[in-house]
Structure 1
């Protein structure tokens, strides 16, 4: 498993763009968060700020007006207006915001440049209206990040027995949702898009329907930890999509030649973000113990990024600028 983990993280590392003056603002990630309501202003902040600290160039928040004024006070680095990528943190379940999310899904389906990460009350929408993630053109650019209860409700909505073998549930749900990628959060994160993961991705000659994120996490679960996960998933999905499109070739970072890798960017993004988020949780717990809160984890994003992925690579290091 250690060899497989190293191989997968090596592939994830290839998605990360080098730092270079030849890249313009936005090419290293424009992350949008659709969420934030009167009662929930913290979640979109943690998701978007987690994305910024992870390495995104820009983070946009689309929210209810009464939440916008509050979120702006948290950080001047966040742009509180329209863009779509991460749907759900702090969204709420009232009809207006749920309908906004429904429209965002439809717009994203029509934009072949955009991927979508779905968390929290975005998953509530998927549970009640699975069509929002169905009929995606080509390989679905959608990643769901449900916790234990959210996953159970999704299974029940799709008529899947939640008491089935734990290693088969995630692939079953992914197939029922037309091969979206799912991060089933738990003591070990189970990740699947419902398809057979080839030996090319696993690196050890094996095949499987699931990846397991088994890196040790912290012993305390805090509200907002999943929002940091959604932010890092969003950044890796953005980086991977730009890598595949050749956006980084001019800075010495050519796109993958492998079709299997190119078509599984959501799977790799989910695995890399799971590894990162579990490590952040562990480092936060080691420093703060029971007093750990999500702000502590935001402060650790930079150093843990370097621990997991290494120091940021520059174009000059490749000698191709």
Structure 2
């Protein structure tokens, strides 16, 4: 078995089987904080990416102008238009709404379509603090990373850093390095500078690290799965959503939430490895998966490929990569 196959097998262990013993919401409640007046597509792709991948519920928390548009995209999403900077006491209203919503989430994605206005950035700051207090898994991308450029202390030395994944592209990675005083292009160095959060550095080959040596192989995992030859806006948002779904599943699996419905066959040693490296494995699985989705979409659509084409094949690629669903009582093929 190759290193890649082994890592994918560990990722598969975190995925809950489909079972009548699980009620709606147990297999992933994902929130996406983003969606400003100019950007309505990004939070949609992140939230729908999570749902197409297999999460049960997805909430989008956004500005009213973005929410009105997102609601026309898909009735499957729960859209909260409570981030209205034009209202009196807008920050207080946003904090109240966010605090209430956080009680329902396994993982929060901050950044897709967030924008850089002072109000939306302040909402992201509030959401970060609430997620920290409530032990919610966190994925930060796009303009959520812009906030961390100016305030890296918001994420540094985070209690339970193993539940945080950052997904910077090349330019976002460079800016984070400058903000934290990292003078290298090492994913592990940046992760260490930020206190042990997991960094998924997107590039020609994706690099993933939480800054510590692991039993998975050194201090950095690399994903060289071939992707597509066309880059379209929205691919990174689908990555954020699928990372969130895997992070939600992994954290719930580690807590024993799926023990009563069984999971992939394996031993105690593998269980220990998975529980210690949930965020790393979620990032690895999502990276390999999304590169495969990109390649599949490119092979079919070539230059005409758009992000909706990728969203449409998420379920198909999931079945090919992670196998058929596991039925209740541990029966069926994985």
Which has the larger displacement, 278-287 or 248-257?
248-257
Q: Choose the corresponding residue for 1:211, options 199, 221, 226.
A: 221
CA distance, structure 1, for counterparts of residue 32 and residue 168 of structure 2: 17
Distance change (3 Å), C-alpha of 1:145 and 1:136 = same
CA distance, structure 2, for counterparts of residue 292 and residue 256 of structure 1: 43
Aligned to 2:279: 266
Q: Does residue 1:310 correspond to 2:287, yes or no?
A: no
Q: CA shift at 1:293, angstroms?
A: 0.4
CA distance, structure 1, for counterparts of residue 214 and residue 231 of structure 2: 30
Q: Does residue 1:301 correspond to 2:314, yes or no?
A: yes
Q: Does residue 1:228 correspond to 2:238, yes or no?
A: yes
CA RMSD of superposed structures (Å): 1.6
Where 1:52 maps in the other structure, the secondary structure is helix
Where 1:182 maps in the other structure, the secondary structure is strand
CA contact 1:219–1:285 (8 Å) conserved in 2: yes
Where 2:171 maps in the other structure, the secondary structure is helix
Q: CA shift at 1:307, angstroms?
A: 1.1
Q: Choose the corresponding residue for 1:250, options 260, 265, 276.
A: 260
Aligned to 2:208: 191
Q: Does residue 1:174 correspond to 2:187, yes or no?
A: no
Matches within 5 A, 1:26-37: 26-37=25-36
CA contact 2:156–2:193 (8 Å) conserved in 1: no
Q: CA shift at 1:259, angstroms?
A: 4.1
Q: CA shift at 1:138, angstroms?
A: 3.1
CA contact 1:244–1:256 (8 Å) conserved in 2: no
Distance change (3 Å), C-alpha of 1:293 and 1:244 = same
Q: Choose the corresponding residue for 1:142, options 160, 164, 178.
A: 164
Q: CA shift at 1:159, angstroms?
A: 1.2
Q: Does residue 1:103 correspond to 2:123, yes or no?
A: no
Q: CA shift at 1:53, angstroms?
A: 0.4
CA contact 2:161–2:195 (8 Å) conserved in 1: no
Q: TM-score by structure 1 length? A: 0.92
CA contact 2:167–2:202 (8 Å) conserved in 1: yes
Q: Does residue 1:277 correspond to 2:277, yes or no?
A: no
Q: CA shift at 1:120, angstroms?
A: 0.3
1:187-228 Cα deviation digits (max 9, x unpaired):
110000000021xx3xxxxx4111001100000110000000
1:38-59 Cα deviation digits (max 9, x unpaired):
0000000000001110000000
CA contact 1:34–1:91 (8 Å) conserved in 2: yes
1:128-147 Cα deviation digits (max 9, x unpaired):
11122123223431100000
Distance change (3 Å), C-alpha of 1:71 and 1:125 = same
- Unpaired runs of 5+ in structure 2? 81-100
- Unpaired runs of 5+ in structure 1? 202-206
CA distance, structure 2, for counterparts of residue 274 and residue 25 of structure 1: 26
CA distance, structure 1, for counterparts of residue 10 and residue 58 of structure 2: 25
Aligned to 1:204: none
Q: Does residue 1:92 correspond to 2:115, yes or no?
A: yes
CA distance, structure 2, for counterparts of residue 317 and residue 244 of structure 1: 18
1:106-157 Cα deviation digits (max 9, x unpaired):
1111112x10000000000111111221232234311000001100111111
Q: CA shift at 1:264, angstroms?
A: 1.1
Aligned to 1:159: 181
